[in-house]
Every structure is written in structure tokens, then in C-alpha cells.
Amino acid sequence: MSTDPWGRVDDDGTVYVRTAEGERAVGSWQAGEPEEALAYFHRKYDELAGQVQLLEQRLKGTDLAPAQAEANIAKLRESVADAHAVGDLAALTARLDGLTELVGQRREEVKAAREQARAEARTVKERIVAEAERIAEETTHWKSGGERLRQLVEEWKAADRIDRVTEAALWKRLSAARTAFAKRRKHYFAGLDEQREGVRSAKERIVAEAEAIADSTDWGATAAIYRELMQQWKSAGRASREAEDELWARFKGAQDQFFQARSAVFAERDASLAANAEIKEELLAEAEKILPVTDVRTARGALRHILERWEAAGPVPREQRDRLEGGLRKVDEAVRKAEDAEWKRSNPEARARAQSTVDQLRTSIEQLEKRLAKAQTAGRAKDVKEAEEALIARRSWLEEAERTLTEFS
């Protein structure tokens, strides 16, 4: 009989393994030495130990699902319990017990992670639903709002599932929000179509009026009507793009027809007025020589004579009119200012008022000087300061009043 710590081979070739419960026959060996038999059944044990080690590595090094791990452990338990092998089978069973505990921990971790994921998914889906309901109720940016709702549906699909009851309730709210948005958008565009139809009718009337006066030769009044029609066009709003483009082309065509005809007439008229402009250029140069005004009466007489010839010269081309009229107006204003200044200097009432102001200020200064002297003698610093400040102000006013009085001399 051959033996080792974990088994033996009997004389009849029966191979036994030693366990805590006693010996158990695991096979027979008739073809060789007992040592060879034990070596063979040791290898069987090593194969089992390798399978246990591999499961340990998978469980500790990968995210093997607890259910699959338990199935593998149960299978290995059966293999160890009925193993035709010689070795420390109890050690393998203990290792499998340790793996069972580890799987239990893994199951709790997976459960906690799943609950956490569901809680996070619920938060995500509640946020999705809340945003969808806000869009459905508030937004008027229909294109971006619709696109955002589609994005929210994709975000919903990408999120983890939660408990069936909550999932169904939140999905119902999301669907209701999408439906409400679609209805509100449809209602808006229906109203917009009605509004645009009203704008189209208003602009049809504007265009018809514009086309009716396109051949008018009442240039001033018709131009004013076109300006008014343009204001009506701008305030009417917008019709559909097709109607807007077609009506604007007609409106602009009528305007162009009228203003081009007016421009042609004005251009012909301006050409006939070029000689008048040359006369007024010479008169303006003559008027500008009056400045600066040294003798008011002579300047006014010269300007009056120029104005008479100016009126007699007649109208000038439009592009020159503002410049010529503005130049003569500047000369006239300069002469008027000189006349006003002359009148002020020769006005006896104004001179008397200026003299009175000077006299009053001089009297006031004399009184303040006396008050200052008394305050200085009495040592009243506050009164001295107030009197000095008042004197500075009065003397400044007196200089200005005397300068004004001198202008009347």
C-alpha cells in the first residue's frame, strides 16, 4: 500500500482521498505503480485548483456578474464534492466559500450601483420632462424649440431605465409636452397665415395706389404721396415671402417710373437754369465783399441792391440752390448782427441802465471797504473774511459793468 498526506492506494489498486469526513474512493489503478496512481489523481486535483484560481481571478479582476459567478461556484462545488482527485479538497471548498462571500459583497455593490444609477436616471429624466414642459408652455422660437425637443427625446433614450411606474408617468408627461408644443406651434402659424393674408391685402392696396400715380407730373404732391405710401408699407408688416417679393417689385417699379420721369424733367429744367446760377455766383461774390461790416448803413444799402438783382435772376438748378442761398443768408445775418450791435450802442435807455449798474457797484464797494476796516480794527476774523470775499466779487462785477458801459461810448 502506498500513501501520502491526502490519499492512498490500497493493495487491490483502489485509490482513496482523505477528507474531514473520512476516506473516499476516487478510482482504481491497475496499470502501474501506486506512486503513479497518486501522481495522476494529484494532477486531477491541480486541474480543479486551477479552475478555482481562474474563477478567483475573474471575480477579482473583472466585472463578472454575480449570477454567473454563483453559477460557476456551484458547478465547481459539485466538481470538488465528487472529485476523482487526491489533494486538499477542503481547502478548495474553503476558497469557494470565500468566493461566495465575495459574490455576496459584489451583489450588494451591484445593487447599490443599480439603485444609484436609477436615482441618477430619474433625476435626468425629470430634468428632461421639466425642460420639455417649459418649452411647450413658453418658447416662441419654434424651430429651435422643436429641435430641442427632439434632442430631449434622444437624451431620454440614452438614459438608464428606472422603475416601470415612474418611467411610464414621466414618459406620459414628455409626450404630452411634445403634443402641446406641436398644437401651440400649429395655432401660431395658422394665426400668422391669417395675419400675413391681411398684410398682403393692405400692400395690394398700396401697390395699386402707387401704380395709379406712376404717370403723374404733379412732382411735388406725388412725391409726397409716395413717401406716405412707403411709410404705410413699412408699418404694414410682412406678408409671405413670395407675396412680399412680388408686391415689392411692383411697388418699386411704380416708384422708379415716377422718380425717373421727374429726374429727367428736373435735369432738363436745371440745364436751362445754369445761366441764372452763374449770375447768382457773381452776386454772392459781390455780397461777400461787404464783410466784415464797418459801416452798417452802407452795408445794408449794398445788400438790398444785391437782393433785388438776386430775385430778378430767377431760379437755379437744385444741386446749386442750397449752397447759393446759404451763402447769401450768411452775409445777411452778419449785416443784421452789425445792425443790432449798432442799435444797442446808440440806445440811451441801455446806456443809462449800464451807468446805474456801475454806480450801484461802486457804492456797494465803498460800503464793504468801510465794513472791512471796522472788522479789521475790531479783530473779527469771520467778518473780515466775509467782507474780503464780497469785495472780490463786487470788484469783478464792476470790471464787467464798466466794460459794458464803455461799449456805449
Comparison of pLDDT for 273 and 299, the residue scoring more:
299
- Residue 256 confidence class, pLDDT cut points 50, 70, 90: very high
Total domain count, the chain = 3
383 & 331 share domain: no
7 & 99 share domain: yes
Comparison of pLDDT for 344 and 18, the residue scoring more:
18
In this prediction, residue 161 carries a pLDDT of: 87
Phi/psi class of residue 22: alpha, beta or left (left: φ > 0; alpha: ψ in -120 to 50)? left
In this prediction, residue 129 carries a pLDDT of: 93
In this prediction, residue 409 carries a pLDDT of: 60
49-58, 75-84, 334-343: the lowest-pLDDT one: 334-343
Residue 375, in any domain of the structure: yes
* Alpha-carbon distances, residue 40 vs 15, 336, 338 (angstroms): 10, 136, 138
328 & 389 share domain: no
As to burial, measured by CB atoms within 10 angstroms (0-12 exposed, 13-18 middle, 19+ buried), residue 387 is buried
Residue 294 cell numbers, joined: 464797418
Closest CA to 276 of 317, 328, 304: 317
Residue 32, pLDDT > 80, answer: no
Residue 388, in any domain of the structure: yes
Q: Do 344 and 391 contact (CB within 8 A), yes or no?
A: no
Residue 257, pLDDT > 90, answer: yes
For 355-409, the pLDDT digits (tens) are 788 888 888 888 888 888 888 888 888 778 888 888 888 888 888 888 877 766 6
13-17, 66-70, 189-193: the lowest-pLDDT one: 189-193
107 & 11 share domain: yes
Q: Domain of 284?
A: 268-346
Pairing mode, strands 22-28 and 14-19: antiparallel
Query: Whole-angstrom Cα distance, residue 137 to residue 1?
Result: 92
Residue 304, pLDDT > 80, answer: yes
Comparison of pLDDT for 171 and 11, the residue scoring more:
171
Q: What percent of the chain has pLDDT over 70?
A: 97
8 & 106 share domain: yes
* Alpha-carbon distances, residue 209 vs 226, 244, 252 (angstroms): 9, 16, 12
- Residue 2 confidence class, pLDDT cut points 50, 70, 90: low
Q: What is the mean pLDDT of the chain?
A: 87
The DSSP output letter for 16 is E
Residue 238, in any domain of the structure: no
Residue 278 cell numbers, joined: 452763374
Sequence-separated contacts (24+) of 181-188 with Cβ below 8 Å: 181/132, 181/135, 181/136, 181/139, 181/145, 181/146, 181/149, 184/136, 185/142, 185/145, 185/146, 188/140, 188/142
For 58-75, the pLDDT digits (tens) are 888 887 888 888 899 999
Residue 176, pLDDT > 80, answer: yes
Residue 85, in any domain of the structure: yes
In this prediction, residue 350 carries a pLDDT of: 67
* Alpha-carbon distances, residue 74 vs 46, 94, 96, 102 (angstroms): 19, 13, 9, 14
How many of the other CB atoms lie within 10 Å of CB of 275?
Answer: 11
Q: What percent of the chain has pLDDT over 90?
A: 35
In this prediction, residue 33 carries a pLDDT of: 84
Q: What is the CA radius of gyration of the chain?
A: 57
- Residue 11 confidence class, pLDDT cut points 50, 70, 90: confident
Query: Whole-angstrom Cα distance, residue 158 to residue 395?
Result: 90
333 & 355 share domain: no
As to burial, measured by CB atoms within 10 angstroms (0-12 exposed, 13-18 middle, 19+ buried), residue 403 is exposed
In this prediction, residue 125 carries a pLDDT of: 92
Residue 285, in any domain of the structure: yes
> What is the reported pTM?
0.38
Last residue of a domain, one of 294, 329, 346: 346
Residue 59 cell numbers, joined: 471575480
Q: What is the mean pLDDT of residues 327-342?
A: 88
Residue 167, in any domain of the structure: no
* Alpha-carbon distances, residue 4 vs 28, 119, 162 (angstroms): 16, 58, 58
For 199-238, the pLDDT digits (tens) are 888 899 999 999 999 999 998 899 999 999 999 999 888 8
Residue 364, in any domain of the structure: yes
Residue 1, pLDDT > 60, answer: no
273 & 320 share domain: yes
